[in-house]
Amino acid sequence: MREDDQTKEELHQRTDALSDELWEIVEERKEQSIEFRKKVMESGFVEFNLEFMTTIAQQLMQAEVDKFKCQIQIIQDYYHAVEEKLIPEAPPATTVEIGFPEGEEPPAVENIPDGADATKVESYTYPRLDRILAMAIRQQVVPDVTQMQTSADPKKAAGKGKDKKGATAVEEDKNVEESIYVKEMREAIKVEKSILRFRLVQIRNWALQKLKDRRQTSLNLYKMLEDWIHVAHKSEMDAVEEMCMVIKDSIEGETKIQSELRIKFMDFTVDHATLNYITPPPPKHSPFEVVEKERFTVSQIACTVDEFMRFEDSSLEQDRSKVKS
């Protein structure tokens, strides 16, 4: 039958039907992979990590601001202790929390403008980190203790009763001496402010780089998953096509395919070590007859016929013996 054209046509049609079924399975696997990639992208895991990193940067900036406030308090206390009459006692330092006020919705951790390329990390901005940096830098403003009222100084109040010339000389000497300490204190505060700004910017740059690295890693992963889906789909289609070519070549060559054909994921192999044979049909059993009282069974009828045949044979032999005698 392998040489018959109609048989070949039938086998080709069966091969095409098998190919269509396998292609439907491949397309279904592709859709499942695309859905899985979409779930990974929408899981929010990357966004949670970006928010967590932004929170860490906010805590580091808060620590730097608290340290700056303490250092300013130490500087002001030191110059107040040098000569109490020159610089009045500084007010106690207050710690300000770097955060968003109640009722105000904080900006998004990450944002991408409309029309920007979502596959490039340069397109993303991080407004919350910039806002936190701006709030932290505003904390460098400290009260100027030199501008506070000095009316509480008893020496200055006693000097008001002196003559005008003597009072002017004392005030000039006092101003000269005061300007030295005030200048040193302002320079020290200025240095601390510059250190604060530098460290805050360093924290912002470190956090920004970490955010960009995490976003770049996620974009690479999404692109890799997309490439894997296309590669797997094409490889599976090629494996199905290769298997169909082997079957059709065997049909046209009128040869029997006895080696096992295997498709495992993206690989198609012909296993020559495994040979397939047609399983012979099971032997047919003798018919089973249901016994009923109203009729004889086949075996009973056969026994009756045999008895009649033996009786007939014996009767014929007796008749022949009588004729001879």
Span 169-191, average pLDDT: 67
Average pLDDT of every residue of the chain = 81
Span 191-197, average pLDDT: 94
Looking at per-residue confidence, does 83 or 298 come out higher?
Answer: 298
Question: Helix, strand, or coil here: 94?
Answer: coil
Q: Which of 94, 99, 88 is closest to 69 using CA atoms? A: 94
Per-residue model confidence (pLDDT) at position 127 = 92
Q: How many helices (H) and strands (E) does the chain have?
A: 6, 2
Q: Which of 5, 67, 13 is closest to 244 using CA atoms? A: 13
Residue 58 CB neighbours (<10 A): 22
**Whole-number Å distance between alpha carbons of 155 and 145:** 19
pLDDT at 300 over 60: yes
Per-residue model confidence (pLDDT) at position 89 = 58
Terminal Cα-to-Cα distance of the chain (whole angstroms): 69
Angle at Cα 14 formed by Cα 13 and Cα 16, nearest 5°? 65
Decide if 109 contacts 125 (C-beta within 8 A). Answer: no
Per-residue model confidence (pLDDT) at position 174 = 46
Give residue-wise pLDDT tens across range 236-251: 888 888 888 888 888 8
**% of the chain at pLDDT higher than 90:** 31
Span 2-12, average pLDDT: 83
Amino acid at 147: Q
Per-residue confidence at 56, pLDDT binned at 50, 70, 90? very high
Q: Which of 10-14, 148-152, 253-257, 289-293 has the highest mean pLDDT?
A: 10-14
265: Cβ contacts below 8 Å, ≥ 6 apart: 232, 236
Please state the pTM of the whole predicted model: 0.66
82: Cβ contacts below 8 Å, ≥ 6 apart: 181
Span 169-177, average pLDDT: 46
What stretch of H or E contains 179?
helix 164-252
Decide if 103 contacts 195 (C-beta within 8 A). Answer: no
Q: Which residue has the tokens 């509480």?
A: 152
149: Cβ contacts below 8 Å, ≥ 6 apart: 88
Span 181-209, average pLDDT: 91
Q: Which residue has the tokens 């109609």?
A: 6
Decide if 215 contacts 124 (C-beta within 8 A). Answer: yes
**Whole-number Å distance between alpha carbons of 94 and 91:** 9
Per-residue model confidence (pLDDT) at position 322 = 66
Span 298-307, average pLDDT: 86
Looking at per-residue confidence, does 142 or 145 come out higher?
Answer: 142
Per-residue confidence at 196, pLDDT binned at 50, 70, 90? very high
Per-residue model confidence (pLDDT) at position 45 = 92
Give residue-wise pLDDT tens across range 97-125: 888 888 888 888 998 888 788 888 888 99
- Long-range contacts of range 155-162, CB-CB < 8 Å, 24 or more positions apart? 155/85, 156/85
Give the pair of three-digit tokens for residue 209: 């780089």
Per-residue model confidence (pLDDT) at position 323 = 62
